[in-house]
Structure 1
Amino acid sequence: MQNYLERFRRVMRYIDDHLAENLNGALLGTIAAYSRYHFHRQFSALFGIGVARYIQLARFHRATCQLAHRPHMSVLEIALDCGFDSPESFARAFKKIHGVSPSNFRKNPTWDACQQIYQPLMDARNKTMPNPDLAPLPDIEIVHFAQTRVAALRHHGDPAHIGNSIRPFINWRKRNHLPPHKNATFTIIHSNPDDTPVNDFMMDLCVATTIAIPDNPEGVFEHIIPANRCARLRHIGPDHDLKRAVVPIYARWMPQTGETPGDYPLFLQRIAFFPDVPAHEAITDIYVPLANAPLLP
Structure 2
Amino acid sequence: MATSDRSRAEYQRRVNRVIDYIQAHRAEDISLDTLAAVAAFSPFHFHRVFKSMTGENLREFIQRTRLETAASHLVQRPHTDVLEIALENGFSSASAFARAFKERFGMSASAWRNGGATDASKARQADRKPGEVEHNPRKAALCAPDQDASSSGADARQDEEEIMNVTVKTLPSYHVAYVRCIGPYGPGGVVDEAWRRIARWASARDLWTPDRICLGIAHDNPKVTEPAKCRLDAAIVIPQGFKADGDVNVTDVAGGKYAAGAFLGEAHTIGAAWDQLFGRWLPESGYQPDHRPCFELYQGEFHDPKTNRFRCELCLPVRPL
TM-score by length of 2: 0.47
Match of 2:262 in 1: 234
Match of 1:186 in 2: 215
Matched position secondary structure for 2:168: strand
Matched position secondary structure for 2:288: coil
* Post-superposition CA distance 1:104-139 (Å, at most 9, x none): xxxxxxxxxxxxxxxxxxxx9x97993379834611
Match of 1:283 in 2: 311
- CA, structure 1 residues 278+133, in 2 after alignment: closer, same or farther (shift >3 Å)? closer
Per the TM alignment, residue 211 of structure 1 is displaced from its structure 2 partner at its CA by 4.8
1:155 aligned onto 2:181: yes
Q: Which amino acid aligns with 2:303?
A: F
Query: Alignment partner for residue 156 of structure 2, among 128, 131, 141?
Result: 131
Cα distance in structure 2, aligned partners of 1:150 and 1:257: 30
1:209 aligned onto 2:234: no
Gaps of 5+ in 2: 1-147
Matched position secondary structure for 1:131: helix
Match of 2:169 in 1: 143
Q: Which amino acid aligns with 1:181?
A: P
Cα distance in structure 1, aligned partners of 2:289 and 2:306: 32
TM-score by length of 1: 0.50
Match of 1:23 in 2: none
Matched position secondary structure for 2:221: coil
Q: Which amino acid aligns with 1:243?
A: G
Matched position secondary structure for 1:135: helix
Query: Larger RCO: Structure 1 or Structure 2 (Cα < 8 Å, ≥ 6 residues apart)?
Result: 2
- CA, structure 1 residues 277+149, in 2 after alignment: closer, same or farther (shift >3 Å)? farther
Matched position secondary structure for 2:200: helix
CA contact (8 A) 2:243 2:250 kept: no
Query: Alignment partner for residue 274 of structure 2, among 238, 246, 249?
Result: 246
Q: Within 5 Å, give how 1:24-43 maps onto structure 2.
A: none
Cα distance in structure 1, aligned partners of 2:271 and 2:317: 17
CA contact (8 A) 2:198 2:236 kept: no
Match of 2:250 in 1: 222
Cα distance in structure 1, aligned partners of 2:194 and 2:220: 16
Query: Alignment partner for residue 168 of structure 1, among 197, 203, 206?
Result: 197
1:257 aligned onto 2:285: yes
Per the TM alignment, residue 163 of structure 1 is displaced from its structure 2 partner at its CA by 2.3
Q: Which amino acid aligns with 1:238?
A: E
Matched position secondary structure for 2:176: strand
CA contact (8 A) 2:199 2:208 kept: no
Cα distance in structure 2, aligned partners of 1:185 and 1:203: 13
Cα distance in structure 2, aligned partners of 1:238 and 1:229: 27
Match of 1:177 in 2: 206
- CA, structure 1 residues 130+229, in 2 after alignment: closer, same or farther (shift >3 Å)? same
Gaps of 5+ in 1: 1-123
How many residue pairs were aligned?
167
Matched position secondary structure for 1:241: helix
1:266 aligned onto 2:294: yes
1:196 aligned onto 2:225: yes
- CA, structure 1 residues 193+135, in 2 after alignment: closer, same or farther (shift >3 Å)? same
Q: Within 5 Å, give how 1:22-171 maps onto structure 2.
A: 130-131=155-156, 135-136=160-161, 138-159=164-185, 160-171=189-200
Q: Which amino acid aligns with 1:139?
A: N
CA contact (8 A) 1:213 1:221 kept: no
Per the TM alignment, residue 196 of structure 1 is displaced from its structure 2 partner at its CA by 1.6
Matched position secondary structure for 2:155: coil
Per the TM alignment, residue 230 of structure 1 is displaced from its structure 2 partner at its CA by 0.6
- Structure with the greater alpha carbon radius of gyration: 2
Per the TM alignment, residue 180 of structure 1 is displaced from its structure 2 partner at its CA by 4.1
Cα distance in structure 2, aligned partners of 1:182 and 1:134: 29
RMSD, aligned CA: 2.7
Q: Which amino acid aligns with 1:131?
A: A
Cα distance in structure 2, aligned partners of 1:127 and 1:177: 45
CA contact (8 A) 1:153 1:205 kept: yes
Q: Which one is further off, 189-198 or 267-276? A: 267-276
Matched position secondary structure for 1:195: coil
